[in-house]
Amino acid sequence: MKSEKKINSQRRNFLKYSAFAIGGFLVGKFLDSIPGLFSSRKGFEIVGPQGEETKIFENFVVKETKKELSFYDKKGYEIFVIEK
């Protein structure tokens, strides 16, 4: 009888902590999406020819190719280049 009670209490503890972990994960996902609801300015992505991706934000532009990642300001001047 004692071993059965010990197993049941361990099972209850496991289920309780699992429920807390899953609940915390879901609350985190929900709270992470809230700022996106209030901000209307988001970058949008343009996929160009030959695998070039361009992401346009309010103050800068990011262009990604297979060889490099380039940052440009809003006037089009190159700020920073990272080679892959």
24 and 4 in a common domain: yes
Please tell me whether the overall predicted TM-score, pTM, comes out greater than 0.75 for this model. no
The 10 Å CB-count burial string (b at 16+, else e) for 34-58 is: eeeeeeeeeeeeeeeeeeeebeeee
- Which residues have C-beta within 8 Å of that of residue 16, sequence separation ≥ 6? none
50 and 34 in a common domain: no
Tell me: the pLDDT tens digits for 1-59? 566 666 788 889 999 999 999 999 999 888 877 766 665 555 566 666 667 888 888 88
48 and 33 in a common domain: no
- The structural domain count of the chain equals 2
Question: 20 is in which domain, residue-wise?
Answer: 1-39
